[in-house]
A and B are shown apart, each in its own frame.
Chain A
Amino acid sequence: MRKPKLATVWMDGCSGCHMSLLDIDAAIIPLARKVDIVYGPLVDAQEFPDDVDVTLLEGAISTQEDVDKLQQIRQRTKLLVSLGDCAVTGNVAGMRNMVPVNKLLQRIYVEGADENRCIPGEGLPPLAKLARPAQDFVKVDVCLPGCPPASKVIAGFLNNVLDGRKLEANTKIKFG
């Protein structure tokens, strides 16, 4: 029997949710025996594969490229999980939403620079007007809130999914 495929994706976030996943410590060893980690910042996979069973998505959606990627991930994933508050609500990534994008860029790259004062753009994805949660764009199957979600929550969730148990909210899940 083939092992389930797990992907992890990092959008507009701080990587804290990925760190909380690693904070299961040595439990990553039995986990790695149960699943193939087929995509994500920890492995060298080079394209988001087909037929992924579970994708953990960290971060908000902040550019059109994020949207395109999210849609591709949705098509190729059975169970899409918003991991952490930025993916679930926009959270800290969304704190920029009250500032118009041009003002934000002006402040950092023109007022905030001593040399070459200009707004960068060459070959870069333009920022969308808003940083938004994943479910604004695609169907999300499970939300695991938290900034970050506790590693026990992530591990408990993964083990339930992988062992085919029913998913239940537990008291360790909280925002913030």
Chain B
Amino acid sequence: MKRITIEPVTRIEGHAKITIQLDDSGKVTDTQFQVTQVRGFEKFTEGRPFYEMPGITSRICGICPISHQLASAKACDAIMAVRIPRTAQVLREVVHCGQFVQSHALSFFYLSAPDFLLGMDSDPATRNVVGVIEANPELARAGIELRKFGLQVIEGLCEERVHPSWVVPGGVKTPMTVQFRDRILAGLPQAMATTEKTLGIFKGVLDNFQEEISNFGSAPSMYAGLVDRSGSLQMYDGLLRFRNGAGEIVQDGITADRYADFIGEATVRNSYLKAPFFRPKGYSQGSYRVGPLARLNVADAVGTPRANAELLLFRQRFGRMAHSAFLYHYARLIEVIYALECLKILLLDPDVLDTHVRATAGVNATEGVGIIEAPRGTLIHHYKVDDNGAIVWANLIVATGHNNRAIGDSVRQVSEHFIHGDHLEEGMLNRVSAVVRAYDPCLSCSTHAIGAPALEISLLDAGGKVLDCLRS
């Protein structure tokens, strides 16, 4: 029996550990995807005033702090029992679009592009963003600029890029200035051109990854995501829908306050990341996926013209339900187009410069739930407070949690396909890491590395003799 450990999985947002077990003939018999850290936000926030929650929970994740702030603020809106001013909602959606652009650009250009552009088997010493800068400076620079554009939306409204304090219970802190609006509008065409060009390049290299597309978590699964009342993609304020692998809607129209009727959580003995499941099907049958690919599968359409045109092309090529986790990358680019189109619509909204952007109220309900689509998938914040507004109970279900079991299953599929025999190649293991990368997990929401040697992979025979060892 042999065991391979990949730790940490590199170029992901957080830390994970993968263990691959092989039998004597070199066949993969078991794999584990483990998340090795817990931070305890649900417990240590007890006793804090509810209005501190957007600021505290922002610190769950430095990559998508806005997502946590928005889900948290929506839960707080519910506790205050207010309907926030329309302009406040528009402004929250603007900053959310900025978040999608920057987060997806980070995943695509900084983390995964080295695999597409330099190759899964390329030298690990240069298979990173610096290597991309060397190999394709124009594209690298375009990616850096696209991420920057998304962050400028955030920075321009919130004053800071990471952990700002602009999204507040009841709305947002300050209105939009005309200068900001015009600056972002002026930058949109370039951002769109970059995204469409990148999508073109990505479509062009897709044929080189047939084997990955076929074996990267390609089994049909259930999917979840928010849609609007007409069934179109929604990021900020929709209703939760579940669709099965065959494309049938299994549950529709779930409002935030009813999430717990449909989503249960299971503890996993060997991971600090819990595994949510679709409650009506039970834990064993209730696995589902969220995030960009899931959202495109769940929605009937995308409500903006360019992104919808791309969705139709995507469906022509991969079917109405696309299952390969490799296609998360593709879906991510379509969503950037969508976010840029939405930005334009939002910025041209006649109310966008209105100065009524915050509702004030005290505690008018002792419970509140906020759900949004974060870049990585459905994000749920659920709080209970006492009459003074102190948190007495909090539950957070983060996007990557929903995908926990799917990532584990995908790791197993990739391992079984690409790893065999008594000889190890680095590229085999990079593919195992790459399937995790495809999900763009935000493990910093719940994880961090343990301190053993970063990566040491050994193939041992039944007597414990090292057959092969990879280390660098």
Contacts and interface: CB of A to CB of B under 8 A. Distances in A.
Given A25-B148, A41-B10, A19 B63 contact: yes
B468 to A, nearest CB: 15
Nearest to A11: B448
Contacts of A44: 10-11, 114, 124-125, 127-128, 430
Interface stretch (A57-65, A74-82, A157-165): A57-65
Given A120-B269, A122-B270, A65 B162 contact: no
B266 A104 contact: no
Interface string A8-47: 0011111111111011011011001000010101111111
B110 A148 contact: no
A141 interface: no
Contacts of B162: 16, 19-20, 23, 148
Contacts of B124: 44-46
Contact of B43 (A23, A39, A107): A107
A113 B128 CA distance: 38
Interface residues of A, number: 71
Contacts of B314: none
A176 B238 CA distance: 33
Given A41-B13, A124-B272, A19 B38 contact: no
Contacts of A1: none
A13 B43 contact: no
A148 B451 contact: no
A114 B278 CA distance: 12
A53 interface: no
Contacts of A104: 38, 40, 43-44
A103 B451 contact: no
Contacts of B10: 41, 43-46
B283 interface: yes
8 contacts: A15-B63, A15-B444, A16-B162, A42-B128, A48-B454, A69-B449, A115-B264, A123-B17
Interface of B: 8, 10-15, 17, 19, 32, 34, 36-40, 42-44, 56, 59-63, 65, 106, 110-111, 114, 124-125, 127-130, 133, 137, 140-141, 144-145, 147-148, 151, 161-163, 264-272, 274, 277, 279, 283, 395, 430, 444, 448-456, 471-472
